Amino acid sequence: RYRIEERFLPDEFQIRFRYSLALQVPINHSSLIRNTVYLAVSNEIFIKNVSPQFDRDRIYLALGYVINPYFRLEAGMMSQILESNHRNQFQIGLFNQMPIPIKSKKMID
């Protein structure tokens, strides 16, 4: 995933570029179906358009569980490396993928 952000901070405006690579590896099934336990790994780096360009790097490792086709639960650790310091944090996330029905219409000439 690649994102460009416009950030409106109290005393300044910034543009930030985010590069993310994520992987989910099923453990007890061959795909992410109901009742699957999986390993989630990701790395996201943030680059600013001004000097110093490095903003932060987030490395994430978690264990997840597929509740059903619409809900997943993850718990893991994220290590966030900033320009001047480093911090670790524990995260719990509930992910919802809402079903959106798509109906096709026949085109009329």
For every one of its 109 residues, what pLDDT tens digit does the chain have, with 9 covering 90 and above?
Answer: 999 999 888 888 889 999 999 999 999 999 999 999 999 999 999 999 988 899 999 999 999 999 999 999 999 999 999 988 999 999 999 999 988 877 766 655 4
Q: How far apart are CA 55 and CA 14, in angstroms?
A: 11
Q: Residues in the chain, how many?
A: 109
Half-sphere exposure of 29 (CA within 13 A, CB side): 12
Q: How far apart are CA 38 and CA 53, in angstroms?
A: 34
Note the pTM of the prediction, 2 decimals: 0.80
Q: How far apart are CA 53 and CA 47, in angstroms?
A: 5
